Amino acid sequence: TTDQVFEALEMIPDSQEYEDEHSVVSYGDIQKIIGKFGFRWKLEEKKVQKEKENKDVVKQPLPDLSAMKSRPPVVTIMGHVDHGKTTLLDSLRHSHVVDQEFGGITQHIGAFSVKTPTGQNITFLDTPGHAAFSAMRARGANVTDIVILVVAADDGVMKQTEQSIEFTNQANVPVIVAINKMDKPEANAEVVKNGLLKCGIQVEDLGGDVQSIPVSALKGTGLNELLDAVLVLSEILELKADYNGLVEASVIESKTHPGRGKLSTALIDRGTLKKGDVLVAGTAWCKVRGMFNDQGRPISKAEPGSAVEIIGWRELPHAGDTILQVKNEKRAHEVIQFRKSLKEDEKALEDARIIHEKMEQHRKDYHDKLEAKRSAGRRVGAIYKKERRKETETESSGPELAVVIKGDVDGSVEALLDALDTYQSDQCRLHIIHYGVGPITEHDVELAKSFNGVIYGFNVDCVGSAQSLANSSKVDVERHNIIYKLLDNIRDRLSKKLPLID
Ligand code: GDP
């Protein structure tokens, strides 16, 4: 789990192990630490891509136009709230149902089909408003061919009318305007048309090419004209599909029915769906057990441009997902398995991303620490230079104490130098001949000897012969591991050098 990895990160040796800010944790270290927790870190995007091509189903290329036949248009109704979208859908559904002789109860399956007086079919998606529509588009399903924009003639263009127009522009879907509530005395179609012009929609009456139809959804007037307008536009759009081959469809709606189990409504994009077909959508799969139309009537096949309710899903697919037919169940399992593993990889990549961020932070913190040390080092260097300047200026005027400072780590040396900086006085000068990290060496002893100075070591030893050299050279070596004792000693020596005041 990510938590374990974070725990592992704490195991990464602290900054001191690294030489400079470019140090990164080696892959070896990462593997060791991560392996300890049984975590596997895999970054193989290229391989995954190649596997995907072999293991997943992909959409088939479209056949040439001669192999394609016309299909019913798919229409979505949009518009401002209360302008009559639901009423329009209802009156279309009830006045023009395909299956009148069946007398079934209208089922809400997310879409329905109407038959025009000329016998052609039109499929309406009955999820008005653009929330559902945009959710579908966000999943990459461009499910609608035509948008009917409903504008109430007593209200005109409103905020959501504008949003709908913007939406159709983005989706590049052609629009037909239904000017609704024409039965109302205050209805004014001209106001609507002019309002639309301001939004870039030029209706035919005003010299444009967008059809506008006055209707009353409530009274059911103008509906045939509206359907005619849809057919005219479909003709122009030349909506065709391949009725053969493997089925491709989009999920319009998905739900669990208490009696019938997992159901989804699919809009067929190509191919003809039949009972027994095997489908995959996302990581869900289905062997089609049965199909129903919007009247709840069982049907034996579903053709492009129609919406159908499918039973037989083992898991519910998501609205907007693409449905693809596969040869058989075995293939479906393979595909699902692969898609699930991809999801896991995505999860692993996400974990890796989080770890990467954490490491970056680790690196940054280290860099900041290092930078702080460096500036401290520069400060120390400046103090030292200042000392050297003073030394040449005052040229052995008065007493001085010469010292060599050695410490175990940067931090301690730095702390000592900082403390000693405050020990300067006019009477007696503290002369820092040399300082550094590490044990006391013969070189330190020689330096101290030539300045007649004292060596201070904090938490360090003398290397090999340094101590005996110090003894023979009569150089004092003061080794301490308590900082104030070391400082006390320096203070003592300084005060002993002060001229006696009577
Ligand atoms: P939606 O929010 O766009 O779905 O609007 P509705 O279909 O719920 O309609 C809102 C209100 O307007 C309801 O009270 C409808 O009865 C009324 N309404 C819808 N169409 C018409 C119409 O053509 N004429 C009149 N007079 N009222 C309508």
With a cut of 90, say whether residue 275 has pLDDT above it. Answer: yes
Mean pLDDT to the nearest integer, 180-184:
97
Nearest by Cα to 97 from 76, 111, 80 = 111
Query: Using CA atoms, how far apart are residues 304 and 272, in angstroms rounded to an integer?
Result: 7
Structure confidence at residue 12 as a pLDDT band (50, 70, 90): low
* Tokens read off for 162: 């504008």
The pLDDT assigned to 14 comes to 52
How far is the centre of ligand 1, averaged over its atoms, from the C-alpha of 81 (Å)?
Answer: 9
Query: Lowest-pLDDT range, 47-61, 141-155, 263-277?
Result: 47-61
The pLDDT assigned to 393 comes to 56
CA of 366: how far to CAs of 7, 20, 361, in Å? 18, 9, 8
Side chain identity at 96, as an amino acid letter?
H
Please tell me if the CB atom of residue 216 comes closer than 6 angstroms to any atom of ligand 1.
Answer: yes
How far is the centre of ligand 1, averaged over its atoms, from the C-alpha of 174 (Å)?
Answer: 24
Structure confidence at residue 19 as a pLDDT band (50, 70, 90): very low
Mean pLDDT to the nearest integer, 191-216:
96
How far is the centre of ligand 1, averaged over its atoms, from the C-alpha of 157 (Å)?
Answer: 15
% of the chain surpassing 90 pLDDT? 45
Q: Are 437 and 452 in contact (CB under 8 A)?
A: no
Please tell me if the CB atom of residue 158 comes closer than 6 angstroms to any atom of ligand 1.
Answer: no
How far is the centre of ligand 1, averaged over its atoms, from the C-alpha of 95 (Å)?
Answer: 17
Return the best residue to mutate from 78, 80, 82, 192 for the ligand 1 pocket (most ligand atoms within 8 A of CB).
82
Please tell me if the CB atom of residue 181 comes closer than 6 angstroms to any atom of ligand 1.
Answer: yes
Please tell me if the CB atom of residue 217 comes closer than 6 angstroms to any atom of ligand 1.
Answer: yes
Q: What is the mean pLDDT of the chain?
A: 82
Structure confidence at residue 394 as a pLDDT band (50, 70, 90): low
Mean pLDDT to the nearest integer, 26-48:
62
Structure confidence at residue 431 as a pLDDT band (50, 70, 90): confident
With a cut of 70, say whether residue 494 has pLDDT above it. Answer: yes
With a cut of 60, say whether residue 207 has pLDDT above it. Answer: yes
> Which is more confident, 34 or 185?
185
CA 62 to chain centre: 33
Please tell me if the CB atom of residue 236 comes closer than 6 angstroms to any atom of ligand 1.
Answer: no
Protein residue with least CA distance to atom 14, ligand 1: 82
Sign of the torsion angle spanned by Cα atoms 307, 107, 85, 101: positive
Q: Which residues contact 384 (CB under 8 A, 6 or more apart)?
A: 417, 432, 435
Please tell me if the CB atom of residue 180 comes closer than 6 angstroms to any atom of ligand 1.
Answer: yes
With a cut of 90, say whether residue 235 has pLDDT above it. Answer: yes
With a cut of 60, say whether residue 440 has pLDDT above it. Answer: yes
CA atoms within 13 A on the CB side of 50: 4
Mean pLDDT to the nearest integer, 381-392:
63
For tokens 């008005």, what's the residue? 128
How far is the centre of ligand 1, averaged over its atoms, from the C-alpha of 249 (Å)?
Answer: 32
Query: Lowest-pLDDT range, 6-15, 169-178, 229-238?
Result: 6-15
The pLDDT assigned to 246 comes to 94
Please tell me if the CB atom of residue 406 comes closer than 6 angstroms to any atom of ligand 1.
Answer: no
With a cut of 60, say whether residue 362 has pLDDT above it. Answer: yes
- Helices and strands (H, E) in the chain, number of each type: 13, 21
For tokens 């050297």, what's the residue? 388
> Which is more confident, 280 or 297?
280
Rounded CA Rg of the chain: 42
Closest atom of ligand 1 to CA, residue 128: 4
The pLDDT assigned to 18 comes to 44
Closest atom of ligand 1 to CA, residue 90: 7
Please tell me if the CB atom of residue 220 comes closer than 6 angstroms to any atom of ligand 1.
Answer: no
> Which is more confident, 96 or 78?
78
Protein residue with least CA distance to atom 7, ligand 1: 84
How far is the centre of ligand 1, averaged over its atoms, from the C-alpha of 216 (Å)?
Answer: 9
% of the chain surpassing 70 pLDDT? 76
Mean pLDDT to the nearest integer, 118-141:
69
* Tokens read off for 257: 């029915």
Most confident of 143-147, 280-284, 315-319, 368-372: 280-284
Strands 111-115 and 121-125: antiparallel
How far is the centre of ligand 1, averaged over its atoms, from the C-alpha of 168 (Å)?
Answer: 22
Please tell me if the CB atom of residue 128 comes closer than 6 angstroms to any atom of ligand 1.
Answer: yes
Return the best residue to mutate from 87, 149, 180, 218 for the ligand 1 pocket (most ligand atoms within 8 A of CB).
87
Protein residue with least CA distance to atom 19, ligand 1: 84
The pLDDT assigned to 412 comes to 81
How far is the centre of ligand 1, averaged over its atoms, from the C-alpha of 152 (Å)?
Answer: 8
* pTM for this predicted structure: 0.62
The pLDDT assigned to 342 comes to 81
Query: Using CA atoms, how far apart are residues 57 and 52, in angstroms rounded to an integer?
Result: 9
> Which is more confident, 48 or 492?
492
Please tell me if the CB atom of residue 90 comes closer than 6 angstroms to any atom of ligand 1.
Answer: no
Closest atom of ligand 1 to CA, residue 81: 2
CA 429 to chain centre: 63
Neighbours of 19 (CB within 10 A): 8
How far is the centre of ligand 1, averaged over its atoms, from the C-alpha of 84 (Å)?
Answer: 4
Under DSSP, is residue 315 helix (H, G, I), strand (E, B) or coil?
coil
Q: Are 278 and 348 in contact (CB under 8 A)?
A: no
The pLDDT assigned to 315 comes to 92
Structure confidence at residue 133 as a pLDDT band (50, 70, 90): low
Protein residue with least CA distance to atom 25, ligand 1: 181
Return the best residue to mutate from 77, 89, 218, 221 for the ligand 1 pocket (most ligand atoms within 8 A of CB).
218
Q: Are 444 and 466 in contact (CB under 8 A)?
A: yes
How far is the centre of ligand 1, averaged over its atoms, from the C-alpha of 489 (Å)?
Answer: 96
With a cut of 50, say whether residue 20 has pLDDT above it. Answer: no
The pLDDT assigned to 55 comes to 79
Closest atom of ligand 1 to CA, residue 216: 23
Mean pLDDT to the nearest integer, 368-397:
64
CA 220 to chain centre: 48
Structure confidence at residue 88 as a pLDDT band (50, 70, 90): very high
For the CA atoms of 72, 76, 77, 80, what is the dihedral angle to 10 degrees? -160
For the CA atoms of 192, 195, 237, 170, what is the dihedral angle to 10 degrees? -140
How far is the centre of ligand 1, averaged over its atoms, from the C-alpha of 52 (Å)?
Answer: 49
The pLDDT assigned to 16 comes to 43
Nearest by Cα to 217 from 209, 226, 208 = 226
